[in-house]
Amino acid sequence: MDSGGSGLRIAVARADERDVLPLASYTSQEPIGTGPNGVDAHQLLKQLVPAAQDLMRDSGARRLDAVCVGAAGMATLGAELRAELPGALAEAFGVRRLALAADAVTAYAGALGQAPGAVVAAGTGVIAMGTDLTRTGGWRRADGWGHLLGDCGSGAWIGRAGLEAALRAHDGRQGGSAVLLTRMEAMFGPAAELPGALYPRADRPAVLASFAPEVAACAGHDSVAAAILSEAARHLAEAAAAVCPQAAGSAVAFTGGLLHLGGPLLTPLRAAFGELLPHARQVEAEGDPLGGALRVAAALATDRLLLPTDEKLLRVTR
């Protein structure tokens, strides 16, 4: 299972096949909310249990040998999930092998499998995870601190920087971009009304990130927009460098929706990568977080789990 801000995805696969491919899958656009105890375990189970039962029927599966739940907020807001899910899933499916993973861990497993290296998951926010697969090394994390304290180089970061440049042009301050001001007003309306429209919203990171494609679209003919994308790329490379193992040839993958911005981001990212990670090699991500959750579950079911366990990032029960 992969749970994030855009909803819930569940899949079932055969654990004993070399390529862990979904036999059946389910998608819900309803994200799991949070309450006083963090991520709402009861809301998650309300969707997960019947959906998994349907998937078992559709795929012909007679039992579940292992389950991996990858969820945004597992590390910092997952107390209720860790308390409720093992017993509930054991009761519903008889499953004893359970992995509760942060979404950054399932993104890692989807991108690199169980190989040492580093993965930067970049979308509305950004987080980097790295491991050398040793018990002493464990997991190394960089950023993922949210749009107010970090997520540097993310969609929300790029969008906010673009809007700031637009407002600088509106004010007549240095560092502004008239091109981005035109784009901003076409998308959000008059500049003076933007703070009142933005600040009260609970989905501010997503709103900020929605302007990132506009910044990328302007980068080819606006130096301010190009500089924002270049700085964002350096932030992403810095996050990768902070968590990447020092061994020569360590694999590093960048994944997430932010990569769809294309050349304006990827070109400076390649340059920053070469400068900051000369010992590493950049590779294409093999799969997404849902595929990573399936890989973790399959490895757990067949006693082949190599990824480091961690109380908050990857908690395993057998």
Under 8 Å CB-to-CB from 181, ≥6 apart: which residues? 166, 167, 169, 170, 191
- Helix, strand, coil proportions of the chain in percent (round to 5)? 50, 20, 30
Do residues 251 and 133 lie in contact, with contact meaning Cβ atoms separated by under 8 Å?
no
pLDDT bracket for residue 73 (50, 70, 90): confident
Whole-structure pTM value: 0.86
Q: What is the pLDDT of residues 184-232, one digit of tens each?
A: 999 999 999 999 989 988 788 888 999 999 999 999 999 999 999 999 9
Cβ atoms 179, 170 nearer than 8 A: no
Q: Cα(74)–Cα(23) distance, rounded to whole angstroms?
A: 26
C-alpha distances in angstroms, 272 versus 140, 239, 267?
20, 11, 9
Alpha carbon separation from 46 to 41, 51, 53, 158 (Å, rounded): 9, 9, 12, 36
Report yes or no: 20 and 294 within 8 Å, Cβ to Cβ: yes
What does the buried/exposed string (b/e) look like for 20-57 if buried means 16 or more CB atoms within 10 Å of the residue's CB? Answer: bebebbbeeeeebeeeeebbbbebbbebbeebbeebbe
List pLDDT tens digits, range 15-70.
Answer: 886 778 888 899 887 777 777 888 888 888 998 999 999 999 988 888 899 999 99
For the chain, how far is it from start to end, CA to CA, in angstroms? Answer: 18
Tens digits of residue pLDDT in 268-315: 999 999 999 999 999 999 999 999 999 999 999 999 999 999 888 999
Q: How far apart are CA 143 and CA 86, in angstroms?
A: 29
What pLDDT sits at residue 6? 67
Residues in the chain: 318
**SS3 of residue 210 by DSSP:** coil
